[in-house]
Chain A
C-alpha cells in the first residue's frame, strides 16, 4: 500500500471536497488495516482534528463519533446496560490493546470488513449511521449498498433499547481474525440474528428472524429450526481459516446458543 499525500483536514466539508475531487482519495479512519489494502491512495484524509472522537449519551440513544477508538468503546461502561454489554464484549475481543488504541469505530463500519467483530453486534443492535451528505440511515441499508463510498461516515447511533444480547467470536488465537462470529438480540421489536466473518461481511438471517418472531413462546424445537434456517439462507465461503461447510455447522451451533440465551 502506498500513500502519495496526507491531509489532516480542518473541517468535514474540506474532507468531502478532497474525497470527491480525486478518485484516489480515501478517508483513512484509524489506519490499522491500511496495510491490507493493495491499492495506492492519492490523498489520505485524516479526520483526527474534527472532534469526532467522543461517545455522547443523548436522550434515547448514544452517538459514537467515527474516530472513536475501539478501546474507548470497550471502556464505555454505559454500554454494559444495552443488550447485556455485547458491544463491549465485541470491541474488547478485537486483537490486542495496541491495535484497539488505533482502530476506529467509523473505519471498521465504513470498511464493511468481513472480519469485523463489531459489525455483527451493531447490526444486531439495529444501529444507524450518519453520512455527511446523505444524513442518517439504517446500518442494515448501508451494509447492503455496494460500490465505493463517496461520502463520509461521521457518526454511529445506538438506541438505548432494553433487551437481551449474545455475542460470540470464534478464532484460532485471540489475535487472529475470526473464523465465524455471531450476534443475537431480543427486544420488544423481535429477534435479530447476525452472522459475520462467513468470511463475507456480516448479514442478517432474515428468514430465521421472521420464523422465530412468529412463534409466541419459542422452545428448543423452534430454536433448532431457526438455527437450521439461518444456516440455510446465508452464504458461507472457504479460506485458510475454515471451509464453508465448517462455517455452516458453526452457524447452527452459534444460533442455537444465542437464541437459548436471549429467549429462554
Chain B
C-alpha cells in the first residue's frame, strides 16, 4: 500500500508492505542512522521521533505512520552534533551504535520534561541501552546538555 509520510521535513509517498516496520522503511529511504538492535522493543536502538514523540521503529508498522511526521538524526543534525560534543567531552562515547537513538530521545526529553531531576532522566532513558560506556558519564553529559538554553 502507499503511504504519505513526512520524513525530516520532506513529504514522501512510499510503497510499503502490510507487515513492514518503520525501521525498514526508513533505512530503505536513506535514513541509515536508524539501526536495528534487538528487534523486540527492548534496546531502544531503533528509536525515531513520530510527531515529536520517541517510538521504537522496530515495532511500529509503517502503515500506521501514514500522514504522520517522522524525525531521525538526519533531521536534527545541529542538535545531534551538540549532544555528541557533550558525550565526547564527558567520555560517554565508545562504539557509537546507540548514539542516534540516544540523541533523539534526549532531544524529545528536553522538549517534554521541564527541569527533570536525575530520577526523571533515568526513567525517561530506561528503554535506551548502551552496552559499552555505562551510564554515569552519559548522565553527566545529559545534565550538561539539558542546561543549554
By a beta-carbon cutoff of 8 Å, the part of chain A in contact with chain B is 1-6, 8, 28, 31-35, 44, 46, 48, 71, 92, 95-99, 101-102, 174-176
A147 to B109, CA, bound (A): 41
A-B complex: 5 closest residue pairs judged by Cβ atoms: A96-B127, A3-B19, A6-B18, A98-B56, A3-B18
How near does chain A come to B20, taking the closest CB pair, in angstroms?
9
Complex CA distance for A174 and B42, rounded to whole angstroms: 10
Chain B residues near A48 (CB-CB < 8 A)? 64
Smallest CB-CB separation from B48: which chain A residue? Answer: A98
CB pair B41–A44 under 8 Å, yes or no, is: no
**B40 in the interface, Cβ–Cβ < 8 Å?**
yes
How far, in whole Å, are A48 and B50 apart by their CA atoms in the complex?
Answer: 14
Q: Is the CB of B126 within 8 A of A101?
A: no
Contact A99 B41 (CB under 8 A): yes
Residues of B bordering A, CB below 8 Å: 1, 18-19, 39-44, 47, 50, 53-56, 59-61, 63-64, 66, 105, 123-129
Among A2, A5, A175, chain B packs the most CB atoms within 10 A around the CB of A175
Shortest CB-to-CB span from A40 to chain B, Å, is 9
Q: State how many angstroms separate the Cβ of A192 from the closest Cβ of chain B.
A: 27
**Residues of A contacting B60 in the complex (Cβ-Cβ under 8 angstroms):** 31, 102
Q: How far does the alpha carbon of A34 sit from the alpha carbon of B18 in the complex, in Å?
A: 13
Min CB distance B87 to A, Å, is: 19
In the assembled complex, the CB of B39 is this many whole angstroms from the nearest CB of chain A, namely 7
In the complex, A176 Cα to B1 Cα: how many Å? 34
Starting from the known contacts A44-B19, A44-B61, A96-B128, 11 additional A-B residue pairs (CB-CB under 8 Å) come to A3-B19, A8-B63, A8-B66, A95-B127, A97-B54, A98-B44, A98-B55, A101-B53, A102-B55, A175-B126, A176-B42
